[in-house]
Chains A and B, each alone.
Chain A
Amino acid sequence: MAQETRMLFRRIDEPGLASIETYRRLGGYRMLERALKELEPEELLSTLEDSGLRGRGGAGFSMGKKASFLPRGDMDKFLCCNADESEPGAFKDRELMQKNPHQLIEGVVIAAIAAGAGWAFIFIRGEYAEMADILDRAVEEAYEAGYLGENILDTGCRVELVVHRGAGAYICGEETALLDSLEGKRGNPRLKPPFPAIQGLYGGPTLINNVETLSNVPHIVANGADWFKSFGTEQSPGTKVVSVSGCVQRPGNYEIELGIPARDLIYGLAGGPPEGREVKAWFPGGSSAPILTAAELDLPYSFEALADAGSMLGSGSIIVADDTVSIPHLALRTARFYHHESCGKCTPCREGTNWTVKMLERVISGEATPMDLDVISSVQDNIIGNCLCVLGDSMAMPIGSMVAKFRGEFEAAIEAGRAAAPRPLDESPTDARPVPLEATA
């Protein structure tokens, strides 16, 4: 039986954990004090880098390395915590903020000190109103206790923290769109380079990290890089809060050591699909991750193993589809989401998501031919790598993998649709017919 390894989720249901008294009683904010009084920012940075902590928001880039890209010097620098968790299937940051907001705030302040940022922002998605209220209260408590503000714990160090509530746009989870939104604009992604580490918020150097990444920071500072590396695998150190949802008996967040078999997560912790059903397909890292099949359930759940299998760990969100689920319908639901959320700035994404939805609708309604599956695949190839951000790629990768791995099912759906709604061969899908010339006169 698989077991959780709770580090961030330790005592997660302790009554009152969201309040500063309880958090402090359990040892909270001591690391911030230590970081301020005993350690130099350079030491903090090198500890974070040595720990090998990889970003938990999706890209999996080394957190310490990213922080080290910020230029040294006295200019205004910013830290943004990305709490715009909007990837379908992801809900780990929600539980972390809802139940242990001070762990995040402590991580934010330590990271801000390490990066030399005087301003920090938590960009929380607009739908998380309940969690934004909890964070607001926690930030207020932290200000009163002297962990935030102009003169933190009388050391002369300054970090201001603002909780910024979004208003419902998946694209704002993309880091440069997040910055535009935080500047009060429509959330359109920016051209990179320049990367945010050099020119980010208000044109200043900016470090952007996910909620779970920053929640790890106090633990790493407390116990050191080697201790952290004793969890997980060499290339994926630490624990990971994994959101498991869809066709499983016990959906929810489970904190595991990276590298355990995915089967232990899906069957062991989450209880597997309902009685009598089998796993047919699963997204290992949110709906943007290329889909995997039942044959791939024994893969280790780590950044490197999933990448080798042609997919990704992403934000660490598993969505399970059992054998009753139609893959073409699953594909249509997936594509509709990205079509809705495309900001419209880049043509391949705006048009590609739109036409993919239309083609998948045709597959299901019986208006497609098997040749259309090749068109769907080629559309995906034309999106990937051709836009300012990866929103379009996030649709193209799972749809492409579904058509590749379940092509037979798409073809059967096309045949079934055509049989159910037979259409004379001379009739085009739109019922358009040539108009006789004399009728136009």
Chain B
Amino acid sequence: MSEGWVPEIRATDEMSAEERRRLVASMRPEDAEPVPELHEVDVPDELRERIESAMAKYPQIRSASLPALWAVQRHYGWCTPEGIRQAAAVMGVTPGYLESVATFYDLFRTSPVGRHSILVCHNLSCWLRGAEDVVDAFCEAAGVDADEVDHIGGSSEDGEVYLKGFECMGACDIAPMASIDERYYGPLTPADARDAIEQLRSGAEPLPDKALGKRGAAGGPEPEPDPRVKAGES
């Protein structure tokens, strides 16, 4: 085989046995993506600390790949190729491995997005209570294409807002709802959507009256406890 032979890129099942043999012979272990050496990669101290403390929490360090990607996303705003490389160096895995993990999960972003993230639920319970109008209002207020929001999510031109239609987030009691910067808000009206975008753009707290954290149990205050429950209390 001549030096510098480059295999043709096509499906292996279309190749002859000889072509396949040549392809396999041309693959060398040293061509595989190496684990980046920690001393060759410049990792910000804060990021490195976060990843290392996550690695220390588990019986096996590979379990820290999700926390490591969270740390990268927190540091850079999204999982940048450089950030993934830094995390890979700290964890001793290939960047490709971490990238394969990052692309599996909906909450990891592998391309740049707006500063504030708004995930609007469009699943059953929210849809039954008018989520479509809320999604439309968010799109219009943020100036993001509705079709894009429905699929991969889109960011506003000023880079302030990232908007994505999302599957059930487990807050159907406040449907229709949205998660704004990782906090839940609902029930939302189209007017709330417009307010939230405006508040985020002006740096104010969004929809303080609609935060989930402030909500009591749906059944209201404690009913008279069942005598059996009472008897069981110490």
Please give the residue numbers on chain A whose beta carbons come within 8 Å of chain B beta carbons, in ascending order.
3-7, 9-13, 27, 30, 76, 85-91, 93-95, 98, 119, 125-130, 162, 164-170, 181-187, 202, 219, 222-223, 227, 230-231, 243-247, 250-255, 269-270, 283, 287, 317, 319-321, 325, 330, 333-334, 337, 340-341, 343
Contact = CB atoms under 8 A, between A and B. Distances in A.
B59 interface: yes
Contacts of B212: 130
B69 A167 contact: yes
Contacts of A227: 228, 231-232
Contact of B128 (A76, A187, A325): A325
Given A167-B108, A252-B217, A253-B219, 20 more contacts: A10-B222, A13-B221, A86-B170, A93-B170, A94-B171, A126-B107, A129-B182, A169-B105, A182-B63, A184-B64, A186-B100, A246-B125, A250-B218, A251-B172, A251-B175, A254-B218, A269-B219, A319-B125, A319-B172, A337-B123
B69 to A, nearest CB: 7
17 contacts: A4-B219, A6-B222, A10-B222, A88-B172, A91-B171, A94-B170, A127-B169, A128-B170, A164-B66, A164-B67, A167-B70, A167-B105, A169-B104, A169-B105, A183-B62, A183-B63, A246-B125
Nearest to B229: A7
A233 to B, nearest CB: 15
A184 B66 contact: yes
Interface of B: 57-60, 62-67, 69-70, 100-101, 104-108, 119, 122-125, 127-129, 166-175, 179, 182-184, 212-213, 216-219, 221-223, 225-226, 228-229, 231-234
Contact of A253 (B57, B217, B232): B217
With a 10 A CB-CB cut-off, give which of B122, B170, B212, B228 has the most chain A CB atoms. Answer: B170
A27 B218 contact: no
Listed from nearest, the 7 A-B pairs whose CB atoms lie closest are A252-B218, A245-B172, A168-B106, A167-B105, A184-B65, A168-B107, A129-B182
A296 B234 CA distance: 40
Nearest to A224: B232
A343 B172 CA distance: 24
B195 to A, nearest CB: 21
A165 B60 contact: no
Contacts of A95: 217
Contacts of B234: 27, 30, 222
Contacts of A287: 123-124, 168
A251 B125 contact: yes
A325 B130 CA distance: 12
Contacts of A222: 232, 234
Nearest to B182: A129
Contacts of B108: 167-168
B62 A245 contact: no
A30 to B, nearest CB: 6
B172 to A, nearest CB: 3
A337 B170 contact: no
A252 B173 contact: yes
Contacts of B231: 223, 227
B173 A91 contact: yes
B232 A219 contact: yes
B232 A127 contact: no
Nearest to A5: B226
A127 B179 contact: yes
Contacts of A88: 123-125, 167-168, 172
B37 to A, nearest CB: 21
Given A243-B173, A245-B172, A162 B58 contact: yes
Given A129-B182, A222-B234, A246 B128 contact: yes
A245 B125 contact: yes
A3 B217 CA distance: 14
B213 A130 contact: yes
Contact of A319 (B60, B65, B100, B128): B128
A357 to B, nearest CB: 13
